[in-house]
Structure 1
Amino acid sequence: MSLQAPAFAPARILVIDDEPDLRTLYELTLLREGYRVEAAGDLLQAREHLKEQRFDAVITDMRLPDGLGLELLRDLATQQRSERCVVITAHGSAENAVEALKAGAFDYLTKPVDLKQFRSVVASAIQGSKNFEPPLLQGEARMPAPVAGPTATAAKPGDASALAKLVGESPLMRAVKARIVKVAGSMAPILIQGESGTGKELVARAVHDCSHRAASPFVAVNCSAIPENLLEAEFFGARKGAYTGATQDRLGLFQTAKGGTLFLDEIGDLPLTMQSKLLRAIQERTVRPLGSTQEDTVDVRIVSATHKDLAAEVLAGSFRQDLYYRLNVIEIVMPALRERLEDLPALCQALLCRICQESGFAPPELSPPMLEQLRSRPFNGNVRELENILHRAVALGEDSGLHFDAAPESHVVIPENLQDFLDQQERNILIKVLQETGFNRTAAAAKLGLSLRQIRYRIARLEIATPGNDDAGDAADEPA
């Protein structure tokens, strides 16, 4: 009688640690989870195991008797092996953790290892492996795989659909897309640099959609739009009664993004006091809600973005150096639109299709002269500016055509008093945006890429009258 092959194979994991007690602890923990485990006490034994078979994950201590765990990471990368590697570092050794992530580690753990976190990181490392399905409990029937609906489809690493919103095939955009696919599979924090309006959030979403976390939440937050006194509650949550108005427990952004990606936009506007708390949350992977005596373990991938030069902010003392190095493990630079004008036709077509779909009519044709007119613009606001131009062109057009505003003049008007001229320009812009947002300073600041403190300063300096007194206005700006 022939035996039928099993429908699945448990994940195979290689554990490398020179301390027998710890090695046994890791083995027993993984065996209880249903994994197949091999163990090694040094690099030599680990390499022998790797010669003999493939693994779904490798867990290695950083310091071993005959070398560093980083050497094994480099071996795996050189041999183009598929094993995801988790590195265990000494407590507080942030430099080693960052170095491991830059070398290609999927994730890291710090000693003493928390076993709950250990199981979570290992599960994330093997998720999506073609060889692995969770073993069944005795008497449990395997349910058929659910059919993914429109909102349940999880993008696979490298899936073109995950990159579809990043329009353009210029060399610069192809490089961005290739980098997204390359780095999506690890837990390494990513810092997206680029001017305002270039599409940094689209890059963050693409990283999430190309990763094994695609089926989990993607939570985006504009750091400059949250009032400073609410930052800690927004990020870490709060218990009922922790502050005036806290009538029930509230989840923070870290808890809401559990298992997924937390996107911190305009990270450069975060106050220094909050930067230290964020650094601890990222390093320890725990957060303490306001009013709580216990810490919550959090499993999120951090992706940040800024239009500022954070290295210069570090030198100026307005951004913590240790947080900068922790966030900038992998950098993705989003090019300005003027650097990739060959993508302009495809961008216009995609934006016009979306604008006209919202209005319920067919997109108008963009003629070559119109494209040339667009090419002459400096696009200081990048793709966001292009979208606004096309919105106006559709709204002002006749007979399903487009009408563009006059192109900016090439000559520069030199004012008699430069400061008065600049102040008046700034005043006009602020008044217009404040009127559009109903004089909500938080919303106006977010629209202009400013912090709430910055816009308050400008309103006061330029003597802009706002409805009500300042205290009432600030209270109205803050979310309930």
Structure 2
Amino acid sequence: MHKAQALVVDDEADILDLIKITLGRMDIQASTALTVAEAKRHLERNRFDLCLTDMNLPDGTGFDLLHHLSDRYPGIPVAMITAHGNMESAVAAMKAGAFDFVSKPVDLQLLRSLVGSALKLRGRAAAEDSADQPGTRLLGDSAVMDEIRHLIVKLARNQAPVFVTGESGTGKELAARLIHAQGPRSEGAFIPVNCGAIPQDLVESELFGHKKGSFTGAVSDKEGLFQAAEGGTLFLDEVADLPLQAQVKLLRAIQEKCVRPVGAQQEIPVNVRIISASHRDLNAEVEKGHFRQDLFYRINVIELRMPALRERPQDIPLLANQMLKRLAQDETHGGRARRMQLTPSALDALKRHPFPGNVRELENVLERATALAEGDLIDVEDLYLTKSDTPAPPQAEEPLDDSVPLEDYLSDIEKRAILSTLEETHWNRTAAARKLGMTLRSLRYRLAKLGIE
């Protein structure tokens, strides 16, 4: 691979010298320009791997150069040099396609991290544009999923904060993992955190760390999740559940790219990409005063909406077949893998079911059907679908109590079916497992999961 080449554009000579020296120590050849016009001439004559540009230039703006690069040299990542505290410009630049930003006065440690991440994109574009890479696809052949996959490739090539929206079970965390895996931070850690699962009085300590003795129970220094994600990605799931005080600190961490552990006197620089998600409408949470508007503006630089399963029913056959293959790896019957298949009527019933729990619910339905179906065919009555326009299964005549979560309701159906079979076989588990079409090991797992002694 050729020696890395960078184009640095700024009308302050001392800034150019500082950045050029820093890049030189990283074995990067830097060409400098004082104006937009001079930068364009450099681009015509040389091939660059990275461009760093100031926002305000004598004959234009960094946006002018960004748009020029996007149109003619889309493979070159562009980082903006912004005035201290001018996050509006930084956010606008990332919305326009900038890779990242660095504030004046330039923090050299952050600059080196930014440049290192940008250079990791070299040679990756062709591979990432392939939608057929194993393990890097969100399953589905629908137009909406094609669009999602292409957008993920684009999002992976910059460092802008991404806000993933969508109902529960639509694959928000999977999308975040793919953005991380296909980008320059793939070698770093992907740290997922469910903000709603952290006790409110421990949120700041969990996110930013704490010093020994900073509060009762702090018996030693503790690294926060931001530090754990250094060089990688921090995925804040259900970010709407963060208490307001923690939201203030999160806002500062994003703006200043540094955190202050609880009880610490100094801030620590962090190089972390933020991807957040929520199934709630954050605009509504902002209006209610439950979520800070300025924080929403920072984390929602780019929004990625994951579609509900009912919006893409044509993807259900592919999803179902892949799930059944995966389930077959864990299930054996008579010494061979069970190759379960859906009957045409069962597949039609799945395509017409609304799936309020989305892909996660589909997986639960198929896991249950695999356990309860006799033989290797799954028919409509094995699915035990509720609240749909599919033909009603035997137990479906009783009304569904809206106050009971769907998973609890389906677990109750499974529990009754297993208990009934156990009673028929006089609690002979081997015979019951055979009658239910599952292994004895699988039956034991389900008995434990359902709390049946």
Fold shared by both chains (TM-score > 0.5): yes
- Give the 3-state SS of the residue equivalent to 2:210 in structure 1: coil
Match of 1:373 in 2: 349
Q: Which runs of 5+ in 1 are unaligned?
A: 1-7, 132-154, 412-420, 437-480
Residue type of the partner of 2:45?
E
Map Cα deviations across residues 257-299 of structure 1 (whole Å, 9 max, x no partner): 1111111111122122111111100111101112222222111
State how far apart, in whole Å, the 2-side matches of 1:393 and 1:196 are: 22
Preserved contact between residue 157 and residue 184 of structure 1 (Cα < 8 Å): no
Task: Describe how 1:12-411 pairs up with structure 2 within 5 A.
Answer: 12-130=5-123, 157-159=128-130, 160-161=132-133, 164-360=136-332, 361-402=337-378, 403-405=382-384, 407-408=386-387
What RMSD over aligned residues (CA atoms) do the two structures have, in Å? 2.5
Preserved contact between residue 10 and residue 35 of structure 1 (Cα < 8 Å): yes
The structure, 1 or 2, with the larger RCO (C-alpha pairs under 8 Å, 6+ apart) is: 1
State how far apart, in whole Å, the 1-side matches of 2:135 and 2:154 are: 13
Match of 2:434 in 1: none
Alpha-carbon offset, residue 128 of structure 1: 4.0
Moved more, 216-225 or 237-246: 237-246
The structure-2 alpha-carbon separation of the partners of 1:406 and 1:232, relative to structure 1 and needing over 3 Å to count, comes to closer
Map Cα deviations across residues 346-403 of structure 1 (whole Å, 9 max, x no partner): 0111111222323343330111111112223211111111111111111112223432
Alpha-carbon offset, residue 32 of structure 1: 2.1
State how far apart, in whole Å, the 1-side matches of 2:160 and 2:284 are: 23
Residue type of the partner of 2:372?
L
Give me the identity figure in percent.
47
Residue type of the partner of 1:39?
T
Map Cα deviations across residues 77-134 of structure 1 (whole Å, 9 max, x no partner): 1114422111011111111001110111111011111111111111111124249xxx
Moved more, 43-52 or 336-345: 43-52
State how far apart, in whole Å, the 2-side matches of 1:128 and 1:386 are: 36
Residue type of the partner of 1:192?
V
Q: Number of paired residues?
A: 394
Alpha-carbon offset, residue 343 of structure 1: 0.2
TM-score w.r.t. the length of structure 2 is 0.82
State how far apart, in whole Å, the 1-side matches of 2:313 and 2:223 are: 43
State how far apart, in whole Å, the 2-side matches of 1:430 and 1:345 are: 22
Residue type of the partner of 1:365?
Q
Map Cα deviations across residues 14-52 of structure 1 (whole Å, 9 max, x no partner): 111111112111111211222111111111111111111
Q: Which runs of 5+ in 2 are unaligned?
A: 391-398, 413-453
Residue type of the partner of 1:98?
V
The structure-2 alpha-carbon separation of the partners of 1:196 and 1:33, relative to structure 1 and needing over 3 Å to count, comes to same
Alpha-carbon offset, residue 250 of structure 1: 1.8
Preserved contact between residue 137 and residue 149 of structure 2 (Cα < 8 Å): no
The structure-2 alpha-carbon separation of the partners of 1:333 and 1:41, relative to structure 1 and needing over 3 Å to count, comes to same
Preserved contact between residue 373 and residue 407 of structure 1 (Cα < 8 Å): no
TM-score w.r.t. the length of structure 1 is 0.77
Preserved contact between residue 121 and residue 157 of structure 2 (Cα < 8 Å): no
State how far apart, in whole Å, the 2-side matches of 1:115 and 1:208 are: 24
State how far apart, in whole Å, the 1-side matches of 2:216 and 2:99 are: 42
Residue type of the partner of 2:40?
R
Match of 2:393 in 1: none
Preserved contact between residue 121 and residue 183 of structure 2 (Cα < 8 Å): no
The structure-2 alpha-carbon separation of the partners of 1:162 and 1:284, relative to structure 1 and needing over 3 Å to count, comes to farther
State how far apart, in whole Å, the 1-side matches of 2:12 and 2:309 are: 54
